[in-house]
A = this chain, B = another copy of it.
Amino acid sequence: MQGMSSSTSERLAPQRNLPVEATRRLLRRNAYVNLARLLGKLHGRDSADIVTQLTVNEQCKLLEHMPTLELVTSIFTYLDEETRAQLMPQLSTARLSAIVRHLPTDDAADILAELPQERLAAMLDQLPDALAEQINRLLAYDPQTAGGLMTTDYFSVEDTWTTAEVLEQLRRRSSRLETVFYLYVVDAEHRLVGVVSLRQLVTAEPHVVIRDLMETEVICVAVDEDQAHIAHLITQYDFLALPVVDYSHRLAGIVTVDDIIDVISEEATEDMLRMAGVNPDAMLEHTSRGNLRHRLPWLSVSWVGGLLASYVIDANESTLSSMVMLAAFFPVIIGMGGNAATQALAVAVRGLATGSITASDMMSAIANEGRIGLSLGLIYGVLLGTVAWFWQGTVMLGLVVGVSIWSSMSIAAILGGVLPLGFARLRIDPAVASGPFLTTAIDVIGLAIYLATARLLLAV
């Protein structure tokens, strides 16, 4: 392990540390050609890492004056949002529009979306009409749909062309194309009719007509398809790109796998934060003030639930004062129920997200959670009941604790399965709706059961 792994880090490390100083030195001397040579050897991602470590002034100087526009564009692509937001007001409109012209249209639209309205209009004026129009159209889509994710830099060919003609076109146009793994075949009205992989094309005879080479069963999505569904399709079918069509089945763009990787990671983050009761937008906040605003509303669920639980206890004050030790088991009752709920919830939410639980086996998944909850509740009910019995020397207290844990864990596991699966069926995001509500509800239910059983069995 160490041998190669450290050699891999060595390959990456010097690109991260030493060159920052070299970049600074060359910048100070205005040695832009040398700078281009230095950064040109690196992957755009690594150059961007170096640039991030410079001051805003240095960053601006570098991007404004570097002679190789491709290099500038590739660095700009890999800069994080924060750095880009700082830089964009500093760059000249001419340079920014030159960069945008070299970007894939989806990245261009994403970057322009960050600009204030007037600057955006000024930028679009500087771009060729066709490109400005394309970007304008992309800006109109919801960023979390196919339209918002897609690029318009796909390579489409007509079904009447031959292999040789396609290869010739490809040679001429390739520099601006983001990804050419699939060639999308359209008819005269630009409707999507087939697909050919680059590999098929390369291995075909030159005179073959595309129509005879293409696959006609093309899986595609509509411009307003949700990103989660697209991620699901690409993951299921192992696609590298997915064509996007408009309402007339005309090819509008493609969504590529690298955009989808980000979506998958983003959706997982959202699921997890929502289950923990954090508004996912909080991840984008860099101030604690903003963060605070996003976490407050979710905690209020917990506070209302807490007060409700307090009310349940208050209503049972007479029971409690005749046997104060009942209170000692509140944390166990609350804790075991809450954890059983969270476990069932996490399994259901991720099961739905990864597709390991489907619409058809929902009922069996819920039944399964129920069985697990009943068994876990029984095991811990007996264990904790026995502890309570011997500790407090009252067999009835043991019985009350045991029965309460058993019933609250069973209810928790069933609700933890039912809620997300039910929400999924109603097409409400299961992660949003379930987390904080469920655990709080289980607290109240558990305590109510506990105190009611106590009143019944202890006759207090």
Q: Which residues in A have some Cβ–Cβ distance to B below 8 Å? A: 1, 3-5, 7-8, 11-12, 41-43, 45, 167, 170-171, 174, 177, 180-181, 198-199, 202-203, 217, 219-225, 234-238, 240, 245-247, 249, 257-258, 260-262, 264-265, 268-269, 271-273, 275-278, 282-283, 288, 291-292, 295-296, 298-299, 302-303, 305-307, 309-311, 313-314, 317, 320-321, 324-325, 327-332, 334-336, 338-340, 342-343, 345-347, 349-351, 353-354, 356, 368, 371-372, 375-376, 379-380, 383-384, 387, 391, 436, 440, 443-444, 447
Q: Which residues of B contact A339 (CB under 8 A)?
A: 276-277, 298-299, 302, 436
Q: Which residues of B contact A240 (CB under 8 A)?
A: 181, 240, 257
Q: Which residues of B contact A436 (CB under 8 A)?
A: 339
**CB within 8 Å for A368 and B180 given contacts A269-B354, A283-B350:** no
Q: Is the CB of B310 within 8 A of A223?
A: no
Q: Is the CB of A291 within 8 A of B372?
A: yes
**CB within 8 Å for A443 and B306 given contacts A198-B198, A347-B273, A349-B272:** no
Q: Is the CB of B258 within 8 A of A299?
A: no
Q: Which residues of B contact A11 (CB under 8 A)?
A: 219-220
Q: Which residues of B contact A309 (CB under 8 A)?
A: 331-332, 335
Q: Is the interface of A mostly helix, strand, loop or mixed?
A: helix
Q: Is the CB of B306 within 8 A of A167?
A: no
**CB within 8 Å for A295 and B221 given contacts A202-B170, A238-B258:** no
Q: Which residues of B contact A223 (CB under 8 A)?
A: 4
Q: Which residues of B contact A379 (CB under 8 A)?
A: 296
Q: Which residues of B contact A257 (CB under 8 A)?
A: 240, 257-258, 261
Q: With the chains together, A236 CA to B343 CA distance in Å?
A: 32
Since A43-B217, A180-B199 are in contact, a sample of 16 more A-B pairs with Cβ atoms closer than 8 Å, ordered by chain A residue number, is A4-B247, A5-B225, A43-B219, A181-B181, A273-B350, A276-B347, A291-B368, A292-B376, A296-B379, A302-B336, A305-B331, A307-B332, A317-B328, A330-B331, A331-B334, A335-B443
Work out how many copies of this chain go into the complex: 2
Sort A-B residue pairs by CB-CB distance and give the 10 closest, nearest first.
A4-B222, A268-B268, A306-B332, A276-B346, A309-B331, A327-B327, A238-B258, A313-B328, A288-B371, A310-B328
List 27 contacting pairs A-B, 8 Å CB cutoff, sorted by A. A3-B247, A4-B223, A8-B222, A43-B219, A170-B202, A170-B203, A181-B240, A198-B198, A235-B262, A235-B265, A257-B258, A260-B261, A265-B353, A265-B354, A268-B350, A271-B272, A272-B346, A292-B372, A299-B339, A299-B380, A303-B336, A303-B383, A306-B335, A310-B328, A310-B329, A310-B332, A330-B334
Q: Is the CB of A320 within 8 A of B324?
A: yes
Q: Which residues of B contact A329 (CB under 8 A)?
A: 310
Q: Which residues of B contact A324 (CB under 8 A)?
A: 317, 320-321, 324, 327
Q: Which residues of B contact A383 (CB under 8 A)?
A: 303
Q: With the chains together, A258 CA to B440 CA distance in Å?
A: 39
Q: Is the CB of A4 within 8 A of B245?
A: yes
**CB within 8 Å for A336 and B4 given contacts A199-B198, A276-B346, A343-B278:** no
